[in-house]
Chain A
Amino acid sequence: MSRLLRLYPAAWRERYEAEFIGTLQERPVGPTGSVDIVNGAIDAHLHPELIGGAPHVWTHRLPGLMATAAGLIWSWYYLRIVLAAPEEWGYGVLLAMLLMIFAVLGDYMASYARRIGLAVSALISAAVLAGVQPLSVIGDGMLNFALGAAAALLLSGGMLTLAALRAGIGAGVRWVLIAGGLLVPVTVAISVMGGFGPTDPGGAPAMVVAILPYGIAWTIVGLRMTLRGSMTIHDAPTTAPTSKVAAA
């Protein structure tokens, strides 16, 4: 049960973990208690000021919310390929990509400024999207396709890695997300099923197998980023308060 305490922020654990574990040892909790601990962890992330950190403002949550939305839109779009079998590419992927770019750039920019950084990153995202969009109508031929696919893979992996770094996800879990969300599914889908276009025979399942996990990975990273919030250079968490009073 004490594993659930890993869900709490590091500063919070430094202050309360030892006594929390002591309490749990004296009074083990059931499923309801576990839910209560998870709720407490979410609350601790949302209120860092309780343990000496600076309170988050809504702009700090925005990049994480963008990343979460990107993951959900991406997942929904590729599920829709199977459920509704659309004949044409929609703008779901482009919207998701815009949100991913916005999330990562917004979070980086928030390290230096709040609203100004987010506004600038929105402009940069729009410009990048204008450049990315032509990739969706890349010219005929296997070479172009292979180059486009390789570029997309590098871009997708790079974006997810940057987002995971900003979310404060450790190296081990980060690699699991990159491998499980992108590299393994894409490799398996290409080698086993062969098709890669939504209108190819067998292509729709291949698309889902290959690309749906990427949306799930972004959703996970986005939720983590939302809970953590963007840190500015001026309000990085301070050390946790120590005991205030000597023994009674």
Chain B
Amino acid sequence: MTNALRELGRFAEPSLHILVSLSDGPKHGYAIMTDVEAISGAAMGPGTLYGALARLEQRGLIEALEPEERRRPYRLTALGATTLQAQLLLLNSFVRTGLSRLEKKQA
């Protein structure tokens, strides 16, 4: 876990999900919830969603766009994209190491 996400505590994982969700373009709250559920298989409550959005916005990892009626889209910032990429590379390395060790044990 990168420092930027680790310091979010219990909001680290939901925040990562949100960053991944926003990686293909801006989304508003409901779209993020739906997308996160689709990509992670776990539902995200609205209290958790807005707690994580507030933290990500405060740290400059995402930014709010102009509201459209009651929907306010968010998008990834350059810093958010860099942080997400670093986190995903870390996870990728972690996953490859884990799978490699598992294969060696099974062989």
> What is the interface of chain A, defined by CB distance below 8 A to chain B?
12, 16, 18-27, 29, 32-33, 35-41, 43-44, 47, 49-51, 243-248
**Across the interface, do A37 and B67 meet the contact criterion of CB distance under 8 Å?**
no
**Complex interface: stretch among B58-66, B81-89, B90-98, B99-107:** B58-66
Given A50-B58, A244-B63, A248-B65, do A22 and B47 touch, yes or no (CB 8 Å)? no
Interchain CA distance A77-B67 in the complex, whole Å: 53
**Across the interface, do B70 and A245 meet the contact criterion of CB distance under 8 Å?**
no
Closest residue of chain A to B68 (Cβ to Cβ) is A247
Q: Which residues of B contact A245 (CB under 8 A)?
A: 63-66, 75
Q: How far is the CB of B88 from chain A (nearest CB, A)?
A: 23
**Across the interface, do B75 and A40 meet the contact criterion of CB distance under 8 Å?**
no
Q: Which residues of A contact B48 (CB under 8 A)?
A: 36, 39-40
Interchain CA distance A39-B45 in the complex, whole Å: 10
Q: Which residues of B contact A29 (CB under 8 A)?
A: 45-46
CB<8 Å pairs between A and B, sample of 28: A16-B50, A19-B28, A19-B29, A20-B29, A20-B46, A21-B70, A22-B29, A23-B29, A23-B49, A24-B46, A27-B34, A27-B46, A29-B46, A37-B45, A37-B47, A40-B48, A40-B50, A43-B51, A47-B54, A50-B54, A50-B55, A243-B64, A243-B67, A244-B64, A245-B63, A245-B65, A245-B75, A247-B65
User: Among A26, A40, A243, which residue has its beta carbon within 8 angstroms of that of B47?
Assistant: A40
| Besides A18-B72, A25-B70, A245-B64, 14 other A-B contacts (C-beta < 8 A) | A12-B54, A16-B54, A19-B28, A22-B69, A23-B33, A27-B34, A29-B46, A33-B46, A37-B46, A51-B54, A246-B66, A248-B26, A248-B73, A248-B75
Among all A-B residue pairs, the 4 with the closest Cβ atoms: A40-B47, A36-B45, A22-B70, A23-B29
Q: How far is the CB of A43 from chain B (nearest CB, A)?
A: 5
Interchain CA distance A27-B44 in the complex, whole Å: 11
Of the candidates A23, A25, A49, the one having the most CB atoms from chain B within 10 angstroms of its own CB is: A23
**Across the interface, do A38 and B64 meet the contact criterion of CB distance under 8 Å?**
no
**Across the interface, do B46 and A19 meet the contact criterion of CB distance under 8 Å?**
no
Q: Which residues of B contact A35 (CB under 8 A)?
A: 45
Interchain CA distance A18-B64 in the complex, whole Å: 14
User: Among B26, B34, B57, B71, which residue has its beta carbon within 8 angstroms of that of A19?
Assistant: B71
Q: Which residues of B contact A36 (CB under 8 A)?
A: 45-48
User: Among B46, B54, B65, which residue has its beta carbon within 8 angstroms of that of A243?
Assistant: B65
Q: Which residues of A contact B55 (CB under 8 A)?
A: 50
Of the candidates B33, B45, B55, the one having the most CB atoms from chain A within 10 angstroms of its own CB is: B45
Q: Which residues of B contact A22 (CB under 8 A)?
A: 28-30, 69-71
Interchain CA distance A47-B47 in the complex, whole Å: 14
Q: How far is the CB of A23 from chain B (nearest CB, A)?
A: 4
Q: Which residues of A contact B29 (CB under 8 A)?
A: 19-20, 22-23
Closest residue of chain B to A19 (Cβ to Cβ) is B72
Question: Contact string, B25-41, partner A, CB cutoff 8 A, digits 1/0?
Answer: 01011100110000000
Q: How far is the CB of B64 from chain A (nearest CB, A)?
A: 5
**Across the interface, do A27 and B30 meet the contact criterion of CB distance under 8 Å?**
yes
Q: Which residues of A contact B72 (CB under 8 A)?
A: 18-19, 243
Of the candidates B33, B47, B70, the one having the most CB atoms from chain A within 10 angstroms of its own CB is: B47
